[in-house]
Chains A and B, each alone.
Chain A
């Protein structure tokens, strides 16, 4: 394993791959700092453009954007109470308070160092887990994949931010959208309404660009927000260092939370930052400090979201099952280059896999070097009026959508999803479950049908194998449990209304 990793470093340190890593993490940080554009949109935008580049370089860059954004997102959360990234919302609670108290430098340092430790721990975990996981996954067959993807689907729907009902609705919509096109086994047309362009199904990229990119722009226009002015941040190194040491356990615990929650499909980074924060608050000797500038309140979520971003690459690369929109897009990037992620990735393309893993170590180092001293530079980015950004993003999404298939139809489709994205934001629906369901749904269906073909129609095959049974039961149990608890709450509420 270590020889493979060493080989991976050799790959990652080649000048062109290194360049892509730098571009990726810088772009990621920029995107993280800027509100209104996030990793899914950026990866979606760059996806069509990576087709000319070698697969390792492409994934190195796209992954760099992903975890880089987790570094950058904290900057605006701390300085202007505006999360640049959905996963950085929790950082606003204490981070902005620290800035108000003149300790912005410390908050930024904690965020950067916490992110570095967490990211590196995540990659270390990735290194050790991968061979074993890959071995295990090689023995997976359609029934296991069915259970796994089903579990992923239910997790995504129930872990979505906002009410579970909204998450399920979005997932259902995503499932339906995933069915548009040809039936995977029989080849008949489904839901194409006679439109020729739909017979191949909808591409992931226009949906993501529309829902995230255009939708976000339209929503921000509607809000007509002004960017608040940024206060200057002076870093008091000695005090910051002390606060970092004070938060060391928060960083460690946050990293662990992010590590495990990140592997699960669903809002890995967001959920883990929330969980890590809640846990720190519970464990603190003086919980009342939280919300008023507790350094641990910055350390925990920032470490968690970085660890989660890193480990969320694991199921995508080793099982072929993405857990969030960004990894789903990186999966698409692999497929564009003809490399299929999954258990065979380690066996058939070890240099791609280990090259990417090695570049993640390098990327984390690059990021801490970039983020600590250069934080002032990134703040200047916020001076660029959002209006120029909006028109450029709109333009880029349209060009990008066109360039996939040279089709105007795709652009219209993207705009349609842009409208949907806007509506979802207004009605406070989280768009994430839709995308995951869109990607996982066809997988669920395919594995189910393959399983049934294997067993000649006997559904018992799903329960004849231990792993498959475990997954399926977990998925059903999760759904059932959620329904039971929400109906208990509902009826409890009715009861109280009656009695009171």
Chain B
């Protein structure tokens, strides 16, 4: 029990120091990338059930490349389409892994 408390306190300390410097310079590209990536990851999981595998994957790649990496629109859409198609082909068709179908379900 004491160990858990100590661990939580330690983590809290480390976090608070990080958050402080975050407030000081939010312009740093790295932090922005990190935060948007984190939000996006969570969003994907939430959206997976609701939207289904294919739409969620497409949106994920699109938004990630655009927001996190600031890729140009053409590149982004190209990669998003290609990658989503590849994922679909590999996971749904070839390996037949059951993945949430969302609102596209029959």
45-87 of chain A: CB within 8 A of chain B: 48-49, 52
Q: How far is the CB of A238 from chain B (nearest CB, A)?
A: 44
Given A408-B48, A427-B14, A394 and B29 contact (CB-CB distance below 8 Å) = no
Least distance between A23 CB and chain B CB atoms (Å): 14
A contact residues around B83 at 8 Å (CB): 391-392, 395
Given the contacts A392-B83, A399-B87, A222 and B31 also touching, CB distance less than 8 Å: yes
Q: Which of A173, A412, A427 contacts B45 (CB under 8 A)?
A: A412
In the complex, A124 has a CB within 8 A of chain B = no
**A-side binding surface: helix, strand, loop or mixed?**
helix
8 Å CB contact of A221 from B7, B37, B42, B57: B37
Q: Report yes or no: B97 in contact with A391, Cβ–Cβ below 8 A.
A: no
* Shortest distance from the beta carbon of B15 to any chain A beta carbon, whole Å: 8
Q: Report if B3 contacts A (CB, 8 A).
A: yes
Nearest residue (CB) in A for B69 is A387
- Residues of B within 8 Å of A427, CB to CB, are 14
Asked if A399 contacts B37 (CB within 8 A), the reply is no
Question: Which one, B37, B69, B95, contacts A49 given CB within 8 A?
Answer: B95
- What is the bound-complex CA distance between A415 and B37, given in angstroms? 11
Nearest CB of chain A from residue B20's CB, rounded to whole Å: 14
A499–B41 alpha-carbon span in the complex (Å): 55
- Contact A222-B30, Cβ < 8 Å, known A399-B99, A402-B48, A415-B41: yes
Which of A52, A172, A221, A426: most chain B Cβ within 10 A?
A221
Query: Chain A 373-405, CB within 8 Å of chain B: the 1/0 string?
Result: 000000000000001101110110011001100
- CA distance in complex: A49, B95 (Å): 8
Tier of interface size on chain A: 35 or more
Partner of A398, one of B38, B41, B71: B41
B contacts with A: majority SS: helix
When chains A and B are docked, how far (Å) is the Cα of A221 from the Cα of B64? 12
Instruction: Report the separation of the CA atoms of residues A426 and B38 in the bound assembly, to the nearest whole angstrom.
Output: 16
Contact B30 A411 (CB under 8 A): no
A223 touches B30 (CB 8 A): yes
Task: Establish whether residues A415 and B14, one from each chain, have CB atoms under 8 Å apart when the complex forms.
Answer: no
What are the residues of chain A within 8 A of B64 when measuring CB–CB? 391, 394
What is the bound-complex CA distance between A218 and B30, given in angstroms? 10
Give B5-32 as 1s and 0s: 1 = Cβ < 8 Å from A's Cβ atoms: 0010001001000100000000011110
Chain A residues within 8 Å of B, Cβ to Cβ: 48-49, 52, 172-173, 176, 214, 217-218, 221-224, 387-388, 390-392, 394-395, 398-399, 402-403, 406, 408, 411-412, 415, 418-419, 422-423, 426-427
The 9 closest A-B pairs by CB, nearest first: A387-B69, A224-B30, A221-B33, A222-B30, A391-B64, A222-B34, A403-B97, A224-B29, A221-B34
B positions within 8 Å CB-CB of A: 3, 7, 11, 14, 18, 28-31, 33-34, 37-38, 41-42, 44-45, 48-49, 57, 60-61, 64-65, 68-69, 71, 79, 83, 87, 91, 95, 97-99
| 9 pairs, A vs B, C-beta closer than 8 Å | A218-B34, A387-B65, A390-B68, A391-B65, A395-B83, A395-B87, A403-B97, A406-B98, A415-B45
